[in-house]
Structure 1
Amino acid sequence: MPFASRQGVPTPFVDAVFTATTATCVTGLVTVDTGLHYSVAGQLIIMTLVQLGGLGFMTMATLFALVLRKRISLRERLILQEAMNQTSMEGIVRLIRKVLLFSLSIELVGAVLFTIRWSYDMPIGKAVYFGIFHAVSFFNNAGLDLFGQFGVPFASLTQYVDDPLINLVSMMLIITGGIGFVVLSDLFDFRSIRKLSLHSKVVLSMTGFLIIFGTVIVFIFEFTNSKTLGSLDWSGKILASFFQSVTPRTAGANTLDMSSLRQATQFFTIILMFIGASPGSTGGGIKTTTFATLVVAVIAMIRGREDIVLFRFRLARERIFKALTITLMSLVLVIVVTMVLSTIEDMAFLKVLFETTSAFGTVGLTLGITPQLSTAGKIIICFTMFAGRLGPLTLAYALGPRAEKELYRHPEGKIIIG
């Protein structure tokens, strides 16, 4: 609609579809700069889609049902159980209440802190608006920003590369949105029950490891790069390295120009984006728990152990098979899309791989090629974002034939592996 753009003219349809997809799938890739192209009305529509996409439609539907005091049916509880990656329906509505409480509370705190900081740079009304928009965007791991209206399109947070408050608040929102609502609920209840679930232990330990390891790698690779960390002081180097390690958790915001990073750092970022956030969160990727399961399975195989053990708990074989299936399907999706885009777009291979992985992981980081994509390329990236947000396994279940129980088993055979 014309009112959604600053110029008062309709946005090209493919760009409108791309923006709606990137907002709903909380990705952050954009073909036109959000702050520069869209009016306040258009930005509010985008922010609403980000909130809906981040929390999930069933969560929002439950919110309306609770507000209207409607009873949640058994069917709806089953759908909520699946949507929140829960193993049972017990306490599912209570969990949804916590999800809404945590989300709105964390976003409110982030918005207030952002408003205080930006009130020094802009009028208070604009600071409040910027605070709310970016708190919603960063908590839901969308990475959409409005800073392009200050003259530098697609700038993200590069002007705040060494600003402690902006960096720390942004990372707090990204991490809390990326670890998942189940983990937030566990942490909230920890004071009373003094115990974390296995899922929460795996998510927290793997997230912490990936962030610290990523910070070290970025710091080492970019330390002498004059276009990124080289021009910053020590505190700026550490802060920027930390942020660039956190943002591949599917956040999409960046304080360094991603196209100026060394190729080794860009490829490492691709790996982090592929892993992504955690189950039941606002992020994408194969998820930290999937990656952790694969790692411990490999370690168990190398050590010749039959059981795969995490924190003194044995994992069922179906969990291992599911992790392998998700990883392989995701890898195939990224490879196929990268090959197709490399065929139809005249761009460097690493840039295309980076863009594809960013879309699949619903990250939103880019090396600057999104606006240059052809119409076909934009549609392919839209599909990749959609598949990444749903999850390849969910998509396969939805599109594939209904599974039927086999009435017999084939004899066991042996092949040579490796």
Structure 2
Amino acid sequence: MNTNKLNPPQIIISIFIGLIAIGTLLLSLPIANTEGISFIDALFTATSAMTVTGLIVVDTGTAYTLFGQIVILALIQLGGLGIMTFAVLIYVAVGKKIGIKQRLLLKQALNQSAIGGVVRLAIRLLIFSIIVETIAVIFLSLKWIPEMGLGQGIYASIFHSISAFNNAGFSIWSDSLSAYAVSPVVNIVISFLFIIGGIGFTVVFDMWNSKEFTHLALQTKLMIVGTLTINVLSFFIIFFLEYNNPNTLANLSSLGKIQAAYFQAVTPRTAGFNTLDIGQMEEASLFFIITLMFIGGGSASTAGGIKLTTALAILLATISFFKDKERVTIYRRSLTYHVILKALALTVGSMCVVIITIFILDLTENAPFLMIVFESVSAFGTVGLSMGLTGSLTTIGKFVIILTMLIGKLGPLTFAFAFAKQSPDPIKYPSEEILTG
């Protein structure tokens, strides 16, 4: 394939598909699985890992050997931080000059608005991720080495640290982290990892450099306030909805209820770990989680979904319209028309992908409609939470979810820009009103 004829979105998509193909091949090898695995299941696992989703059709801890699990971890790290980020490290290590085309690819991969500073951002991102994951491994090892022994304890710590920081949701245990629903160490460390990984690296670095809230970029302000607000609100909603549910919180102690409700409130955006049985939660809780999964985390992060700032841009534009304001303003800044239009296009495009996925799965799968909706949004938001449908998907259903995870990871706009012919119209036509509402 001649990459010189491809635009950045097409190259990014090609790289992802290529790595998924390599991952599928490696996971299909006898050395990677315990009892043999079908091509579609290997493809599903490779896609889920590369898109840092976490949905599984076979149990990670029992179906794959140590080699297979390491392959999954490698795909998670590549997919979470971005292959172009690692490419920059290789270029720098060998002393090769990073040209304009590589910078454009990096800009696309990191979802930045300009190419200025993208190389420095990629290097800082790699260093930051290694430091954070290493610290997390140390804390988790203090918990798991006494329980499992030195080797298994360190391995479990490494696996879950990488999976959590990249918002992948993969676990080597079939019940995810349910056994640690009331463990302060696991709850705090794992949630810290996926919140930091999902808030956006530009936000983290801006917070590090700017000590005062007023000096922060608008993106950072919106992510801080939005994340705190939605996490606190989610905690109270999950806590009260599940408080008397005997299958989730009812049988836990008061402190256990708080810990489990907190973890399950923050994990849908888009970590994928669970300490409660998702399939046993109240329908109202499940519907609320679907909303959280669709929103997702922050831009330039390991999280998926339409992104919190996209949802906030749509919300702020709606409020401005109701107030009959011509501009969308927040924190003494105005959002540009392009930002609002992009947020609208991304939201509508995402809804179309989810609706099509739901429609096809409703035809191919013998499952309750809520379960189908939950699985579809989880796949698109690259969350990985499941009510139990993934393991029983038909072959068509698996292919649909695979495609949905890929679109959800790279974004509907990336696919639109990759395959739609760009033809800006230089001619300006007269405006005319149409009836709406």
Same fold (TM over 0.5): yes
Q: How far off its partner does 1:88 sit? A: 2.1
CA separation of 1:409/1:52 partners in 2, compared to 1, >3 Å: closer, same or farther?
same
CA separation of 1:97/1:412 partners in 2, compared to 1, >3 Å: closer, same or farther?
same
State the distance in 1 between where 2:47 and 2:401 align: 10
> Cα deviations across residues 10-67 of structure 1 (Å, max 9, x unaligned)?
3111000000000000000000010011000000000000000001011011111122
State the distance in 2 between where 1:406 and 1:38 align: 53
Corresponding position of 1:3: 31
Corresponding position of 2:237: 217
State the distance in 2 between where 1:330 and 1:162 align: 35
Amino acid of the structure 2 residue aligned with 1:22: S
State the distance in 1 between where 2:213 and 2:335 align: 24
Q: Identity, % of aligned pairs?
A: 41
Q: How far off its partner does 1:407 sit? A: 3.1
1:43 maps onto 2:62 in alignment: no
Q: How far off its partner does 1:194 sit? A: 7.9
Amino acid of the structure 2 residue aligned with 1:186: D
The normalised TM-score by structure 1 is 0.96
2:116 pairs, out of 57, 75, 90, with 90
State the distance in 2 between where 1:211 and 1:131 align: 25
1:169 pairs, out of 189, 201, 211, with 189
Secondary structure at the aligned position of 1:309 is classed as: strand
Q: How far off its partner does 1:192 sit? A: 9.7
2:81 pairs, out of 55, 59, 68, with 55
Corresponding position of 1:19: 45
Q: How does 1:391-406 map to 2 (within 5 A)?
A: 391-401=411-421, 403-406=422-425
1:358 maps onto 2:378 in alignment: yes
The answer to whether the 8 A contact 2:267-2:274 is kept is yes
Corresponding position of 2:338: 318
Corresponding position of 1:105: 131
Q: How far off its partner does 1:205 sit? A: 1.2
Corresponding position of 2:283: 263
Q: How does 1:221-300 map to 2 (within 5 A)?
A: 221-300=241-320
State the distance in 2 between where 1:192 and 1:247 align: 28
The normalised TM-score by structure 2 is 0.92
CA separation of 1:68/1:108 partners in 2, compared to 1, >3 Å: closer, same or farther?
same
Corresponding position of 2:24: none
CA separation of 1:297/1:192 partners in 2, compared to 1, >3 Å: closer, same or farther?
closer
Decide which moves more: 257-266 or 240-249: 240-249
Amino acid of the structure 1 residue aligned with 2:430: P
1:145 maps onto 2:171 in alignment: yes
1:117 maps onto 2:143 in alignment: yes
> Cα deviations across residues 185-221 of structure 1 (Å, max 9, x unaligned)?
1122124998211111111111111111111110111
Gaps of 5+ in 1: 149-154
The answer to whether the 8 A contact 2:50-2:80 is kept is yes
Secondary structure at the aligned position of 1:314 is classed as: strand
Corresponding position of 1:34: 60
Secondary structure at the aligned position of 1:224 is classed as: coil
> Cα deviations across residues 151-183 of structure 1 (Å, max 9, x unaligned)?
xxxx00111111111000010001000011111
State the distance in 2 between where 1:6 and 1:121 align: 25
Q: How far off its partner does 1:87 sit? A: 2.2
4+ residue segments displaced more than 4 Å: 191-194
The answer to whether the 8 A contact 2:213-2:221 is kept is no
State the distance in 1 between where 2:426 and 2:256 align: 63
State the distance in 2 between where 1:257 and 1:280 align: 30
1:413 maps onto 2:427 in alignment: no
CA separation of 1:300/1:193 partners in 2, compared to 1, >3 Å: closer, same or farther?
closer
> Cα deviations across residues 343-379 of structure 1 (Å, max 9, x unaligned)?
1111100000000000000000000110100111001
State the distance in 2 between where 1:60 and 1:97 align: 9
Corresponding position of 2:16: none
Corresponding position of 2:228: 208
Amino acid of the structure 1 residue aligned with 2:32: A
CA separation of 1:62/1:345 partners in 2, compared to 1, >3 Å: closer, same or farther?
same
Decide which moves more: 179-188 or 253-262: 179-188
The answer to whether the 8 A contact 2:82-2:110 is kept is no
